[in-house]
Chains A and B, each alone.
Chain A
């Protein structure tokens, strides 16, 4: 069942002429992991804000069309209802930290306090969420004494702990080291397996290819492509429009023109690239696959 429905959604920020989103039609199923890619300025953050109710409730501006998320209609539900069902992690984690708490533990509990979760339950949920994202050792640190990567994990944890039905993430791994990035993707995959729906704006195509169910390519406020990672990430359109693509796809595309990639389908992951390049013809059959 669709948990997110956008119908003919067009949105303009206050005092602007050009819509940031234009005629967006989109349905997301419960438990789906959807990645949103696009150049800077394509509308990725605006789409995140729309799903989280910040557009139009916080940013104002002019929204037309229909937005329905977790059974709420954007035109009817206020932001305080919205936050019970939808969580948003901001692109810059620094903007998200409350400034009202002295420790990471309290910071993560802040949202639960605000919705009146009992103290005992709160403790359990905060500890569980910190364990999941691997930050238990930061519990007593000040949120402001952390590195960018650590802050980013705290920001993500403080949203996960709310157990939203729909989790919206705006480049949640931008400040993480490579293996930290892979871990966060893993955590998000686990959440979707438990039934959470995730929409994530992200540039890191290699991990999208490995973890997401579906990819939406945004360009100039419109949906350019929408489909499986395989279909979207190997499209020639992405290269034309200046999207980032993985080195596996890019090098195989070049190899294909040189006759060194023999499959029809271009690869999107390391495994597919390794399999495909292993088929590249050798002079003698005995040489195949040897090194």
Chain B
């Protein structure tokens, strides 16, 4: 299911113009990282995908659905959204009820709801915590509950808004694993992140936004290598990209594997 955004403009009721003519196509099964400074319009953009915001001008289509013609509840069957702050979306008294809420509301049969919940809990390593109250869990695990509750809805498109904020290395690895599995399942994943190293290691396509516009959009190595342009939107290239540039590597590298390969080639001349 493709996402097609055409000349999207958005102005908040207080007059702040947050998006100035965004046009963008995301193919089914693509995994896209969105980077850019605070206030660049990243969250405003993705909130158009599930109808939380409606275009001031222009059009957003999820498959063949124009988001202006479908309710947020309806769009929830196509687009799942994991909020930046997990506490904004959790309300049930135990983890499994929380995770079952979405698929139940989408009207899946009981057996399928159970299967989707179990699968989502396994993927997020929450199986042993299924009867715990989400608010008895640490913020780290509450984040995983929020992720599980969206995955269980089995939507073709999933949005993550700053999934790694405040997470430790172990949990960032868990989240990266979730995204890898979603890639294998051919889900479309759109992730807003300030964690540029996380972005570099997990996304093949990267979009950089600044002041309500798209600044760069393309293959991760092409986008993340453009140090000067990224600096205008307050983003530094990934650590290893910067190191590769400093060492004069001809190609842009972003992962440890790419860095070591480039280093040894250079060493062998």
Contact = CB atoms under 8 A, between A and B. Distances in A.
Interface in B135-185: 138-140, 162, 165-172
A206 to B, nearest CB: 6
Interface in B187-244: 194, 196-197, 231, 233-236, 238-240, 242-243
Contacts of B234: 177-180
A290 interface: yes
Given A145-B14, A251-B260, A254-B260, A39 B166 contact: no
B165 A177 contact: no
Contacts of B162: 148, 175
B38 interface: yes
Interface in A81-129: 91-92, 94
A278 B140 contact: no
A251 to B, nearest CB: 5
Interface in A225-267: 242-248, 250-251, 254-255, 258, 260
A177 B194 contact: yes
B169 A270 contact: no
B263 interface: yes
A124 to B, nearest CB: 27
Interface residues of B, number: 47
B256 interface: yes
Nearest to A44: B168
A205 B234 CA distance: 19
Contacts of B138: 40-41
B40 to A, nearest CB: 8
Interface of A: 38-41, 91-92, 94, 145, 147-150, 171, 174-182, 203, 206, 242-248, 250-251, 254-255, 258, 260, 270, 273-274, 277-278, 280-284, 287, 290-291
Interface of B: 14, 36-39, 43, 84-85, 138-140, 162, 165-172, 194, 196-197, 231, 233-236, 238-240, 242-243, 246-250, 256, 259-260, 263-264, 266-269
